[in-house]
């Protein structure tokens, strides 16, 4: 697996052996980032970060700050190794790894403008339900856009039910790139901590 675009394009990333990391397929990742466009100045969070591929891609393409949230200690070490690789290639983004599960760890991060979430496929519906039903998560997210990856086999009634029952977030769009489908979600309203997509602390 490698960085596809930006300053660190072509840099190969380390990935943990086994099944604890499922990197977004390269073609899908390229299409996703091409659809986002200019990331210059953005503050980004990479939830369920795994190898950090999504956050590192954002950094390579100009994101100002990237925060990686990952619960597995082994993966956290690998993300740190990959950060060193892209930094050596010239990426100057501020990058920080927080080793914690997403449900309890998001509040440890400063406000961001964009959130990537690539959860374990077999937990997609449950994790989506927990986070979208958490009013404090919506408050923390403020005006951020949440891009949530869905695997082909999890486009199920369970996921659709979560989206229908959710009252804290609105779906902006749904896009399919290759074998992956992505939801663009945003809190229903800016709450106590409004911020623009290009700002962060």
Per-residue pLDDT of the chain (201 residues; tens, 9 = 90+): 899 999 998 999 998 876 444 555 677 888 899 999 889 999 999 999 999 999 999 999 999 999 999 999 999 999 999 999 999 999 999 999 999 999 999 999 999 999 999 998 788 888 999 999 999 999 999 999 999 988 665 556 677 777 777 888 998 988 888 778 888 999 986 444 444 443 444
177 domain residue, yes or no: yes
d(Cα 119, Cα 112) in Å, to the nearest integer? 19
Q: Which domain CATH number covers 153?
A: 3.40.50.150
d(Cα 33, Cα 31) in Å, to the nearest integer? 6
Residue 148: which of 192, 162, 140 has the closest Cα?
Answer: 162
101 domain residue, yes or no: yes
d(Cα 199, Cα 170) in Å, to the nearest integer? 22
Cα 51 to Cα 65, 73, 133, 177, 192, distances in angstroms: 17, 11, 27, 20, 32
Residue 58 belongs to domain spanning: 26-187
Number of folded domains that form the chain: 1
166 domain residue, yes or no: yes
126 domain residue, yes or no: yes
Number of neighbouring beta carbons within 10 Å of residue 28:
18
Read off the pTM. Answer: 0.86
2 domain residue, yes or no: no
**What pLDDT is recorded for position 161?**
73
70 domain residue, yes or no: yes
200 domain residue, yes or no: no
Contact 163, 171 (CB under 8 A): yes
69 domain residue, yes or no: yes
Contact 169, 188 (CB under 8 A): yes
């Amino acid at each position: 697996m490698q960085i596809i675009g930006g300053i660190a394009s072509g840099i190969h990333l380390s990935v943990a052996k086994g099944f604890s990391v499922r990197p977004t397929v390269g073609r899908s990742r390229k299409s996703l980032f091409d659809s986002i466009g200019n990331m210059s100045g953005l503050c980004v969070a990479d939830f369920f970060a795994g190898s950090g591929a999504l956050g590192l891609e954002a950094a390579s393409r100009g994101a100002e700050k990237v925060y990686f949230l990952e619960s597995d200690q082994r993966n956290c070490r690998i993300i740190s190794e990959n950060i060193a690789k892209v930094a050596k290639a010239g990426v100057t983004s501020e990058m920080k790894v927080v080793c914690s599960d997403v449900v309890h760890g998001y509040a440890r991060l400063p406000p961001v403008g964009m959130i990537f979430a690539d959860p374990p496929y077999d937990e997609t519906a449950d994790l989506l339900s927990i986070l979208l039903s958490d009013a404090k998560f919506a408050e923390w997210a403020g005006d951020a856009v949440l891009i949530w990856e869905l695997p082909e086999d999890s486009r199920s009634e369970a996921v659709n039910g979560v989206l229908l029952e959710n009252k804290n977030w609105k779906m902006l769009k749904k896009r399919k790139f290759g074998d992956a489908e992505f939801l663009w979600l945003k809190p229903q309203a800016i709450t106590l901590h409004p911020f623009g997509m290009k700002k962060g602390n």
